[in-house]
Amino acid sequence: MGPGELAVYEDLFLALEYPLYAHLAPGQRFFANMTKGAILAQIYGGAEAAPAQKQEIEDFKRLLSRITIDMETRVVNVTFKGKQSAARWSGWQMPLATKLLPLIDYEQECEHAAATNKLVMLDFYSFDVEVRKGVMTSRDMFWMLSEILGLKVQAMTHPVSEETGIKEQQWTVRIHASACPVALRQLGSMQIDDVEVVIHHSAIHVNWPCKRCHSPDHPTRFCKILFADLEGEKKKHTNKY
């Protein structure tokens, strides 16, 4: 068998694989281009796991064909040797680095959506925004996100808590994008006239942006920016209009 035939055989073999997907939890970070072995080493049940759970995890590692992590889209791609093999693990909570990530069969969801018109949560990015100074309506916020930032807004909802009820000056936003847009990635705050809006990349980070330098990558208590560099850092992470 020559190199060309081997290439064709490999493509045919990969075409038979069936994918499941999982979204990384906020705060989870991994290196780019991690090997299969390195990723599998992060899948474990811990000392408190029951023997049956540990065996299930070992079965999962043994039966999967390939596993990759895309840090840009924050999606874990797990493939199996065929749809029937993958069906066993659809909906399973994969224990990746102490977080339980449900495996989703988007191929099956797309098939169902064709008949039911159900929304399939593919190619989306979600984040939170909060007005810290001034007042904005939902219409104002939609205008800011769509017209100023150029985002394709799909949904905006007010979070609800038991203590305070509806948070009228805070929104959870979903936009059409496979990953965090470049225009949004380094933003921690925006200022429009006398209104100040803080942006929390809740799909990526657990905490809200730093109040000192406005960086979305660390909370205030971990800020190491020197006082002399503070204004420069604020400008990097703040858009003023």
Burial of 202 (0-12, 13-18, 19+ CB in 10 A): middle
Average pLDDT over residues 47-53: 88
Q: pLDDT confidence of 49, banded at 50, 70, 90? A: confident
Q: pLDDT confidence of 14, banded at 50, 70, 90? A: low
pLDDT above 60 for 12: no
How do residues 91-120 score in pLDDT, each as one tens digit?
Answer: 999 999 999 999 999 888 776 666 665 555
Q: pLDDT confidence of 77, banded at 50, 70, 90? A: very high
What are the CA-CA distances from residue 210 to residues 99, 171, 185, 216, 227 (Å)?
Answer: 25, 19, 14, 6, 14
Q: Is 151 strand, coil or helix?
A: coil
Q: pLDDT confidence of 16, banded at 50, 70, 90? A: confident
Q: Domain 3-116, CATH 3.30.720 — does that match?
A: no
pLDDT at 1: 57
Cα-Cα-Cα-Cα dihedral sign, residues 198, 204, 208, 210: negative
Average pLDDT over residues 69-88: 93
Which class is domain 124-240?
Answer: alpha beta
Beta strands in 24-111 (DSSP E): 64-70, 75-80, 93-96, 99-102
pLDDT at 178: 86
pLDDT at 161: 74
Q: What average pLDDT does the chain have?
A: 89
How do residues 174-194 score in pLDDT, each as one tens digit?
Answer: 999 989 998 899 999 999 989
Kindly report the pTM of this predicted structure. 0.79
What residue spans in the chain does CATH classification 3.30.70.330 cover?
124-240
Q: pLDDT confidence of 15, banded at 50, 70, 90? A: low
Average pLDDT over residues 66-80: 95
How do residues 194-233 score in pLDDT, each as one tens digit?
Answer: 999 999 999 999 999 999 999 999 999 999 999 999 999 9
pLDDT at 183: 84
More confident residue, 181 or 46: 181
Q: pLDDT confidence of 9, banded at 50, 70, 90? A: very low
Give the percent of the chain with pLDDT over 90.
72
Q: pLDDT confidence of 8, banded at 50, 70, 90? A: very low
Beta strands in 24-103 (DSSP E): 64-70, 75-80, 93-96, 99-102
Token readout for 114 is 């064709």
CB neighbour list of residue 239: distance below 8 Å, 6 or more residues apart:
187, 189, 190, 191
Token readout for 192 is 């429009």
What are the CA-CA distances from residue 43 to residues 20, 58, 102, 190 (Å)?
Answer: 16, 9, 13, 39
pLDDT above 50 for 153: yes
pLDDT at 6: 52
Q: Which amino acid is at 222?
A: F
CA distance 76 to 80: 13
